[in-house]
Amino acid sequence: MLDANAQSYDYDLFVIGAGSGGVRSARVAAQTGAKVAIAEEDRYGGTCVIRGCVPKKLMVFASEYANTIADAQAYGWEASIGAFNWPQFQTKLHAELDRLEGVYQSVLKNNGVTSYNSRASLVDAHTVTLADGRQVTAKTILLAMGGRPIKPAITGSEFAITSNELFHLENLPKRLLIIGGGYIASEFSCVLNGMGVAVTQYYRGKQILRGFDDETRQHVASEMQANGVNLKLGMNAESLEKVNGQIKVHATDGQDYLFDQVMFATGRRPNTDDMGLEDIGITLGKKNEVVVDEFSQTVIPSVYAVGDVTNRANLTPVAIREGMAFVNTVFNNIPTKPDHELIPTAVFTQPEIGTVGISEEEASKLGKIDIYATSFKPMQSAFAGRDDKVLMKLIVCQKTDRVLGCHIVAPGAGEMIQLASIAVKMGATKADFNRTVAVHPTMSEEAVTMTKPVRSYP
């Protein structure tokens, strides 16, 4: 229940940022009877809906049809495919994003949330100022501004784009360089390669997808190269220069290379600049993230933060869960900590990664661990004459028999890991997996049919 003191403010809750976390928090808080407002300076839906998960996944779907047609031919169908029509796809893509943005706006309106299409910043612990100079007050303020891609400080970086601009290109480049080794760089390398772009990817490290299980990321890198991505490890760009409509890249190998377009996917930064946060005493971390406690509360008791702006686990479902926990804590009087343990993750490379729990490298430091793993050609692609392989892997504690990690590289791995993560989250043991009858013939049956470890630690 809100106390009587809340009536002295314009709103019980003012949310800054209408991405997934902000919109969910505003809507659910309003459903408790709170008077809620939200401010968004750009588009409703935030990174995920407008320039992230949703448009990216639609591009993933689009990029897979060339292989689908090739497989159809191998299966006896008379089928052919022409060149990919980017403008046609792009028109439909943006129409879908417009529709989804409208859904977000309608959800807020239908739940009585007041929307301000404006940038907002903080004046004090209870006051927000809008771009036109208006000020509004709120008993509680929620920061949900998300993050944005950043470019490295090298000469000529202004000639490159980020993932934000990619969706708005009039035409796809013939030759594209993507710089970075994280999931955004690797996903777009696969997607654009599938759309017919000659993709080169530079990553300064020894292997892409740092932080993921080593065997998993090595498997994906190998498959990406086999599919046509020119992956250059231990390589980076030192400078960019515009030359006759192309971009000349001076690389760390001392050579110059020409591309039609260059995209940086080298990191993201929380949107905390010029928000007045430090002026009122809110603590920011090394990456300019809002520092919060286990209940998403800042050092200012009336100000909370959720989502990518806190740089905890930068995933849309996590932002939503953090928002729900915030509403429970502040408006339902049920103190709730968002659960950041065993978060399942999908990386939409080609093939996909689905993962939950710890990696083999993490496990090897914990004591006696068994590694169960298998790699094989799936039936569908083997029949079509393709050489791609999938990977199934379980990390198991010898003492408790508990499955500590599950890693899948396969078509549809994201779908598989969502279900596998339920078992892992519940504390399932390898014996539980073994007792489960396999669904045959499927790729995922290997998760319950592996009987002997391939490696053990120590």
Q: What residues act catalytically?
A: 440
Tokens describing residue 233: 């490890």
The helix or strand, by DSSP H or E, that contains position 81, with its residue range, turns out to be none
Residue 17, C-beta contacts closer than 8 angstroms, at least 6 positions apart: 38, 39, 40, 46, 143, 144, 145, 146, 271, 307, 309
Pick from 381, 437, 424, 409: which is nearest to 221 by CA? 409
User: Which CB contacts under 8 angstroms, 24+ apart, belong to 129-138?
Assistant: 129/276, 130/39, 131/41, 136/10, 136/11, 136/14, 136/37, 137/9, 137/10, 137/11, 138/9, 138/10, 138/11, 138/12, 138/13, 138/14, 138/37, 138/302
Tokens describing residue 234: 């231990």
59 touches 65 (CB < 8 A): no
Give the position of tokens 């000659």. 198
Whole-angstrom distance, CA of residue 53 vs CA of residue 320: 14
Name the residue type at position 104: Y
Which sign, positive or negative, has the C-alpha torsion 38, 7, 309, 281?
positive
Q: Give me the half-sphere count of Cα atoms (radius 13 Å) on the Cβ side of residue 112.
A: 12
The four Cα atoms 266, 91, 315, 278 give a dihedral, to 10 degrees, of 70
Q: What is the DSSP string of 282-311?
A: --B-TTSPBP--TTSB-SSTTEEE-GGGGT
The helix or strand, by DSSP H or E, that contains position 326, with its residue range, turns out to be helix 316-331
